[in-house]
Structure 1
């Protein structure tokens, strides 16, 4: 059996009119509680605490939403800037590739000319070597010397050494500003 005192404490005071336990028309929560009613006081405190937490949660959610929207706008702007920069970089890369193709073509033409010059120099050197052998035979028979022909052989040998050591470095210009023999001969081929 439940004691009468327990029921009297927890149940509302039925002798008081119901309007003393007023409610908020908008939310339906208990706003005023009659004296002597522990249940309605507990409900009122609970409703007030829930309303306070709901308000705090709404304010915090609104603040976070605003922060996220601001960050999202910044990220979108950064993405647009990155796309624009990427387009510029791709355009610049296309120009570099085009220039590289032109440079490779020029280099191939230059190598072809140098190779042709090497072949011609080798032919000339071989011809002069044969002439030197013939001259040595004549010298053995006659006993004379040809200073002019020896000079030509020396110049040819020096030229061959020059070509071999400078074929990968390209043509150069001396201190006097005059073109080297190799550059002059290559220009004559074009």
Structure 2
């Protein structure tokens, strides 16, 4: 009888050693899977541009940071405008119609606030045109699924050396004309898909 009890206790002991950690491991990974699935569902749900929050911006120490007023924000349709420059306003320059357009000479780096997503409108034409002193742009926080026009997006960014476009969806983009025109220091575009890579090589 004692022998049977001893064997039973040994089995229970072995189960405690080998099974319990496995159960814990499975529970931990199930929780991670649930969180990942929830995040995926949230990002893949139907997005309505008209209902997204506005995007605020700030320029500090030469860094342009874009931050939506909620987790997801919309950067409204963009185009190019002409401004007069110089003391006597005799010269003109093309700049983005985005809020930072007329301050483009003060920008050395562009980024999206971590943890936020900026959705682009159908037109991103000239979004960073003539940001000629900007050296680096991390735009992996952009969602481009609605964008159809990326023409002249980085035109005139003569000092640009690094661009990160990881995660960009360009399936709907029809116009890449002069996207990287004048980006003479740019040697590669991180995360570029086939379409953007083709636009880059034709600069």
TM exceeds 0.5? no
TM-score of Structure 1 vs Structure 2, range by shorter chain? under 0.3
Determine which structure has more spread, i.e. the larger CA radius of gyration. Answer: 1
Structure with bigger strand share is: 2
Greater length-normalized contact order (CA 8 Å, ≥ 6 residues apart): 2
Structure with bigger helix share is: 1
TM-score by length of structure 2 reads 0.26
TM-score by length of structure 1 reads 0.27
